[in-house]
Amino acid sequence: DAGVIQSPRHEVTEMGQEVTLRCKPISGHDYLFWYRQTMMRGLELLIYFNNNVPIDDSGMPEDRFSAKMPNASFSTLKIQPSEPRDSAVYFCASGPGAQTFGSGTRLTVV
């Protein structure tokens, strides 16, 4: 298995633009998690899905953030409009149990 696959690896965008991050979980894993990591706040859970259904989105910072999981092999995290304070590394992970993380998307909003 190729593990959790995230794209793009790096994204630089201008403030106000829409950003879409993508994730392919490990086949057979029925939980999918989106995290954000910054120096100041560490690794924070944004939202997680079970069997493609959002279970807990209490970590989503505001309405500019949205996440979808249209099928078991694909999920997106969208930021619209993006702001400089959204700059971070965004990780996707899949489970159950011990979560396996992707390599992350490093987002820079200028």
Partner 1 sequence: QKEVEQDPGPLSVPEGAIVSLNCTYSNSAFQYFMWYRQYSRKGPELLMYTYSSGNKEDGRFTAQVDKSSKYISLFIRDSQPSDSATYLCAVIQGAQKLVFGQGTRLTINP
Burial of 100 (0-12, 13-18, 19+ CB in 10 A): middle
Minimum Å distance from CB 96 to partner 1? Answer: 6
Dihedral (CA of 35, 39, 40, 42) sign: positive
Residues engaged in binding partner 1 (CB under 8 A): 4, 31, 33, 42-43, 45, 48, 50, 56, 91, 93, 95-104, 106
Closest approach, Cβ 93 to partner 1, in A, equals: 8
DSSP string spanning 60-82? --STTEEEEEEETTEEEEEESS-
Least separation in angstroms between residue 79's CB and partner 1 is 20
Residue with Cβ nearer partner 1 (29 or 82): 29
